[in-house]
Structure 1
């Protein structure tokens, strides 16, 4: 009895993956965007754990880079919203995508934050849930009365917020933490409050707070539908990728990841890296033309640099110890045609310095990188940027 020949998976090679990255992530000059919203859409979400990263990542993808364009989207139009979501990480997301992200990831994380907070104040301060609810309500009322307020303003209005708990007493990483920071983090995760303009410039981590829209009040699709919608958006930007890449990026369980991929009809493809199997959307098998040669200087925690768990196809593993911190956060990177070739930093006098760890691209790459460094320095002007998460090579380069 004859058997049908096994079906051969379509193959998408590394060169094609890099071509897609350059075009779809708006890094090739001819593909750059006009608005901050377009930059976030292109990569699904902009990392926002470091306030400067949102502006640096968006401006790297804007045809006319300007932090005011990002501030417009964040604070005036509020078309970009910050959410604690994938991998319990803070992202800036298009407001239209927010309900999908809320249902697929953020609500689960917010519930965990609330449980953790309740345990923390119970064990550290002896507060029961009733006491915590009272303090929460008074904090929200104080914020509503003021319209906007800093953490210090709210602590002055609600004295209980100034209570502190010593975390990990006796350990090398012992820390004294105020209720203010834990409660505001939880309220922000729940959407009840939102970050408004920072005090100082766009690199500042000291935000004013304003009333928000609670996640429970968003008209969001059921979680399985939301996960499928997010998987579709992610694959359109990052595909082909492995199942493990999507699981890592979202923080979902393997079962939820597989169900989401099945719901969008994801197709398996063969990849170059060690014969692994990737997935793409069913209508995304045709090759994408490679853009003209391009260079980019991306910030620490850029969504492209942190877009995949398996990174060998765009990052030589030998470079990782100098480009990542001990927690797995990537620092500023220099790119050439879809591959990381080095790092950059800003010195106290404003100079943008870079160090190439690869000679890939030769003089053409070096010239293009120099042009991008000049472009970055021009729009930064007098602003000085120090990444929140320092990496070995960035520290070396930024030293005066």
Structure 2
């Protein structure tokens, strides 16, 4: 099993190559959580994994509440099926909460201040749900609490981890809104901690495998001890192999695809699950070690045959322009694969594609 083989396997497991998922709901459920700091970019991250590639698919799920955009797993946004959200927050929030608590305390907020602000937020949302962050800031100010910018983001992110609020129906322009948690997330029977750890291991590896225990610990902000408990609890549904001194876990019965990925090329955000879904073994995506150390500052990635071949910057105007800076000279077939990827991405945006390659 070579690094390239594992990369191709992950691409298929993540539904970035055939077989695709049937819908946005299938993608979110299959991956369990999709990082969604940038709503527009994450919409493509979901759509590119489906047979439909229709922005209305995910938009409808967010409007109905079947999928929620909220803080979970790590102190950042994710798309999660509402049916999975409560057990996922209960399992992973204890190690994430301190990040919000420390930053609010450093900003002069006491526990009483936070509770008072949360009460005002809940009162405002009970009276008028689906408020934007700016509208909530105004509601808080009217109730005697000043919270704007980064402080308001921390306050609301912390409230999400406490299962007080989550995403509401987006505005007509697609702006994120908030609603009370209970109004958007239906109550469902919850597993105990050991069952939840096993479920997490099973679901993460079904959508991200093959991956290491440290990949899962990073992704879910859990201790290695908890991850190992989860792997043990899900052992009947998992298999593993050794590579480069590490154990890689995957769903039992799953295996590497035959031949190269279809399609071969992808233009993705740097936050895509194929990159951000791992840490310990993330750079199997760059088996040749060509990506520069500053790649994290790039807006996006150009991927061909499950390997990074360059950075990508997207600019929207009359056309969808994709500027790719290759890490090495590209073969004709690789350039063709990136043109195909640009055409798919631009079609999703309702624009014509304009792919530009810098000298590589």
TM-score range, shorter chain: 0.7 to 0.9
Shift in Å, 1:282: 6.9
- 2-side partners of 1:197 and 1:353: how far apart? 33
TM-score under structure 1 length normalisation = 0.76
The answer as to whether partners of 1:60 and 1:297 remain within 8 angstroms in 2 is no
The answer as to whether partners of 2:104 and 2:155 remain within 8 angstroms in 1 is no
Counting matched residue pairs gives 347
Q: Deviations over 1:347-392 (max 9, x none)?
A: 35332232322346x21121121021122122213699xxxxxxxx
The answer as to whether partners of 2:129 and 2:168 remain within 8 angstroms in 1 is no
Q: Deviations over 1:57-101 (max 9, x none)?
A: 01221223221111011112x221223222323211122322331
In our comparison, the structure showing a higher alpha carbon Rg is 1
Is residue 265 of structure 2 the alignment partner of residue 295 of structure 1?
Answer: yes
Match of 2:37 among 41, 49, 52: 49
**For residues 198 and 216 of structure 1, do their structure 2 counterparts lie closer, same or farther at Cα, with a shift above 3 Å needed?**
closer
> After the TM superposition, which residues 129-208 of structure 1 pair with which residues of structure 2 at under 5 Å, given as runs?
129=112, 132-159=114-141, 162-163=145-146, 180-199=152-171, 201-202=173-174, 206-208=175-177
The answer as to whether partners of 2:9 and 2:255 remain within 8 angstroms in 1 is no
Q: Deviations over 1:162-197 (max 9, x none)?
A: 526xxxxxxxxxxx8575433222222323222224
Provide the residue aligned with 2:282 in structure 1.
Answer: 311
Report the 3-state secondary structure (helix = DSSP H, G, I; strand = E; otherwise coil) of the residue aligned with 1:312. helix
Q: Deviations over 1:296-350 (max 9, x none)?
A: 111230011212212332214331434212xxxx631111121111122223533
Match of 1:66 among 42, 54, 62: 54
Provide the residue aligned with 2:90 in structure 1.
Answer: 103
Q: Which runs of 5+ in 2 are unaligned?
A: none
Is residue 105 of structure 2 the alignment partner of residue 119 of structure 1?
Answer: yes
TM-score under structure 2 length normalisation = 0.83
**For residues 251 and 180 of structure 1, do their structure 2 counterparts lie closer, same or farther at Cα, with a shift above 3 Å needed?**
closer
- 2-side partners of 1:377 and 1:322: how far apart? 27
Report the 3-state secondary structure (helix = DSSP H, G, I; strand = E; otherwise coil) of the residue aligned with 1:252. coil
Report the 3-state secondary structure (helix = DSSP H, G, I; strand = E; otherwise coil) of the residue aligned with 2:226. helix
- 2-side partners of 1:79 and 1:368: how far apart? 34
> After the TM superposition, which residues 252-263 of structure 1 pair with which residues of structure 2 at under 5 Å, given as runs?
252-263=222-233
The answer as to whether partners of 1:99 and 1:219 remain within 8 angstroms in 2 is no
Provide the residue aligned with 1:173 in structure 2.
Answer: none
Provide the residue aligned with 1:82 in structure 2.
Answer: 69
Is residue 206 of structure 2 the alignment partner of residue 233 of structure 1?
Answer: no
Provide the residue aligned with 2:345 in structure 1.
Answer: 376
- 1-side partners of 2:136 and 2:103: how far apart? 18
> After the TM superposition, which residues 350-365 of structure 1 pair with which residues of structure 2 at under 5 Å, given as runs?
350=319, 351-359=321-329, 362-365=331-334
- 1-side partners of 2:59 and 2:303: how far apart? 26
- 2-side partners of 1:286 and 1:382: how far apart? 37
Q: CA RMSD in A?
A: 3.2
The answer as to whether partners of 1:102 and 1:220 remain within 8 angstroms in 2 is no
Provide the residue aligned with 1:391 in structure 2.
Answer: none
The answer as to whether partners of 2:201 and 2:230 remain within 8 angstroms in 1 is yes
The answer as to whether partners of 1:16 and 1:287 remain within 8 angstroms in 2 is yes
- 2-side partners of 1:336 and 1:318: how far apart? 14
The answer as to whether partners of 2:290 and 2:327 remain within 8 angstroms in 1 is no
Shift in Å, 1:113: 6.0
Report the 3-state secondary structure (helix = DSSP H, G, I; strand = E; otherwise coil) of the residue aligned with 2:310. strand
Q: Deviations over 1:99-122 (max 9, x none)?
A: 33123213x15653674477357x
- 2-side partners of 1:248 and 1:26: how far apart? 21
Shift in Å, 1:21: 2.0
Shift in Å, 1:224: 2.2
**For residues 218 and 336 of structure 1, do their structure 2 counterparts lie closer, same or farther at Cα, with a shift above 3 Å needed?**
same
- 1-side partners of 2:352 and 2:127: how far apart? 34
